[in-house]
Amino acid sequence: MNDAFGHPQSAVVFGGTSEIAREIMALLVADRCRAVVLAGRDGDALEQVAKTLRSAGASTVEAVGFDATKPERAESTVTQCFEAAQGQVDLVIMAVGELGHQLADENDVDRVARMVTVNFTWPAAAMTAAAARLRAQGHGTIVVLSSVAGVRIRRANFIYGSAKAGLDAYAQGLFESLRGSGVSVHIVRPGFVMTKMTRGHQAAFFAVEPDVVAAAVVQGVERGQRVIWIPTVLRVLFLFFRLLPHSVWRRLRG
């Protein structure tokens, strides 16, 4: 059960090897999270994360493998994860995503389809399945890693950005549909995060480390924030960006 401060005792992480998710889990396990299920693609990497969490004090850490390019199997993956949790699930973290390579991908139909599946279709399908379970449970928290890339689309990463925009919008709707069910949805919109996913890309303004994102997420959940901007200044900045005429916006950033 989540405690009075929104600190969970059990969590299921989709995208268990994501650096942001790892940092979030490190904070939660240091607090009172004891049962963790990590779902991801890379079994060895998952086991590595599981080992770290176990030594940090988690009593059960299970790993579940899945393929985010196959949304038709999302439901069975979610079922498998909830079963592995052996009880109630207080927190679901949706950290599945791929940045891709815009220029290499944009003329390749298969790659674009794959990017949308991994960043939007699979997470949306899995969140649907997870939300149904949490609703039946009568309580729970869903944290969705969105991105400011989906807030106003840029030429430089519009495949990733548009998929995240879809996911973000889906999560907003899910938030509304779960009102009164005891389940809350928190949408995380970080700016540029310095992770293995963004390695090789030029860091943007207000770039943050994954541990900063994790701390902000834990605090945002504690405070019951629907949308968590990281850093918080991006909330104001993107309010302004969204109002910019397109002609100015396209010149402003790549």
Partner 1 sequence: MSQGNSHKMTRDSIPHLKIVTTPTTRPSPQPAHELMEHPRLLSGWGRTSPSASNVTVPQDIEMLSALFTTKDPGLRSPVTASFRLRQPAQGYKNSVIARGLGRSYGDAAQCAGGTVVDTSGLDFIGVIDPATGRVEVGGGTSLDALIRASLPLGWFIPVSPGTRQVTLGGAIAADVHGKNHHREGSFCSHVSSITLVTPTGVLTISSENDPELFWATAGGMGLTGVIANATLQLRRVETAWVEVDTERFNDLDSTMSAMEAMDHVYRYSVAWVDCSSHRGGLGRSILSRGDHAPLNALGPTLNERPLAIPRQLPKRVPFTPPRSLVSSSTARAFNEAWFRKTPRRKCGALVPLTSFLHPLDGVANWNLLYGKRGFVQYQFAVAPRHAELVRTAISMIAGAGLSCPMAVLKRFGPGSPGPLSFPIEGWTLALDFPVGPARLPPLLDELDELVAAVDGRVYLAKDARLRPELVAVMYPRLGELATARRRVDPHGILESDLSRRLGLTGAYNL
Q: Which residues bind partner 1 (CB under 8 A)?
A: 1-7, 9-10, 31-32, 34-35, 59-60, 79, 82-83, 86-89, 132-133, 135-139, 180-182, 219, 222-224
Six-digit token string for 71: 């949304």
Smallest separation, CB 47 to partner 1 (Å) = 20
Least distance CB 183 / partner 1 (angstroms): 8
Q: Residue 231: is the preceding peptide bond cis (ω within 30°)?
A: yes
Measured CA distances, 160 to 41, 99, 102 (Å): 19, 6, 8
Residue 40's beta-bridge partner residues?
65
User: Per-residue b/e over 31-61, b at no fewer than 16 CB within 10 Å?
Assistant: eebbbbbbbbbeeeebeebbeebeebebebb
Choice between 30 and 243, CB closer to partner 1: 30
- 219 vs 16: CA distance, rounded Å: 20
Closest to partner 1 by CB, 36 vs 208, is: 36
- Would you call 160 a catalytic residue per the annotation? yes
Query: CB-wise, 86 or 232, nearer to partner 1?
Result: 86
User: What are the E-state strand segments in the chain?
Assistant: 10-14, 35-40, 60-65, 91-94, 140-145, 183-190, 227-230
Q: Which two tokens stand for residue 25?
A: 């889990």
Selected catalytic residue, list 120, 160, 170, 192:
160
71 versus 97: smaller Cβ distance to partner 1: 71
Q: Phi and psi of 37, rounded to 5°?
A: -120, 125
Q: Which residues are catalytic?
A: 160
